[in-house]
Amino acid sequence: MTTLTNTSGAIPTELKPVSSTTTATIVGVLFVVQMVTAMVGTSLIRAFVDGNKDRAPLTLGVLLMMGAGLAVVGIGLLTYPVLRDVNPRLAMWYPILRITECLVSAACGVYLLAHSQVVSNHMLWVYVPTGVGGIIFTYLLFVSRLVPRPIALLGFVGYVSLTIGVPLDLLGLLDMSHGAGLLLVVPGGLFELVFLPVWLITKGFSAAHADQAGHSPRLTMHT
């Protein structure tokens, strides 16, 4: 007689579509790529704002910012299956906010190329989805222990600082691109450029938790 039994045992290794180690490595590389391309792109755009009217560096800067945006989208999509088993509702918002971040950045870039003028406070509008999405991301990393908690906490502090800094900058109380205002972006920068990618590339996600991602109870047949 054939019966159906509900089991939640581990899926054999050979049936896993993509290993958590591979996902972690790609995500780590994408974090570095998006940070480096964004920094170079921002510097080229700032040179145009400061008086360099050469269109070629400006165009390259906008393209690099768009490339950084695509890397950000990749991070959101790749980490969603890992974060989903921690908290499905919160995890869903992470790729959505990363896609929003990419679209806002791209829209500002297109406007700049079309009108040779930057959108007022354009980086602050990009920081909004970056900060909120980052808070969700690092909270899920912290509670799940997918990475060491000090790394997740550094990122959480960084994204909270970034999010708080946006209204303070808009109100003219500080400038997040100069002086003391830069301190608000330092923790997040260290998290995205150094600590998280280095850990993901060298160690990956914590195996005890990452191996559960995408593995839900299933039906097996016994005869």
Q: Which residue has the tokens 């969700």?
A: 136
In the chain, beta strands by DSSP E: 3-7, 218-222
In the structure, what pLDDT confidence band is assigned to residue 207 with cuts at 50, 70 and 90? low
SS3 at position 69: helix
- Dist CA 161 CA 176 (whole Å): 10
What pairs with residue 4 in β-bridges?
221
Q: pLDDT tens digits for 19-62?
A: 688 999 999 999 999 999 999 999 999 999 888 888 999 999 99
Provide the whole-model pTM: 0.84
Closest CA to 75 of 162, 155, 181: 155
What pairs with residue 6 in β-bridges?
219
Ranking 6-10, 67-71, 128-132 by mean pLDDT, the lowest is 6-10
